[in-house]
Structure 1
Amino acid sequence: MTDNRIISLLQLAMAAGKTVRGDGLIPAICRGKARLAVLSSETGNNTKKKILDKCRTYSVPVLELDAGEFDRISNRAMKALVVTDAGFAGRIDELRKDR
Structure 2
Amino acid sequence: MKDEFLNFLGIALRAGKMTSGTDLTIKGIRDKSIKLVIMASDCSERTKKTLNDKTSYYEVPIIDVFSSDELKKSIGKDRKVMGITDLGIARRLKEIMQN
Give TM-score scaled by structure 2 length: 0.90
Structure 1 stretches of 4+ moved >4 Å: none
Structure 1 residues 49-73: Cα deviation after superposition (integer angstroms, max 9, x where no partner): 1111100011111111123322222
CA distance in 2, matches of 1:85, 1:50: 22
Structure 1: tracts of 5 or more residues without a match: none
2:78 corresponds in structure 1 to 77
- Aligned CA-pair RMSD: 1.2
Deviation at 1:78, TM superposition (A): 1.1
Report percent identity of matched pairs. 28
CA distance in 1, matches of 2:69, 2:24: 24
- Say how many residue pairs are matched: 97
Structure with the largest fraction of helix: 2
Give TM-score scaled by structure 1 length: 0.90
Map residues 1-99 of structure 1 onto 2, 5 A cutoff: 2-22=1-21, 23-64=23-64, 65-98=66-99
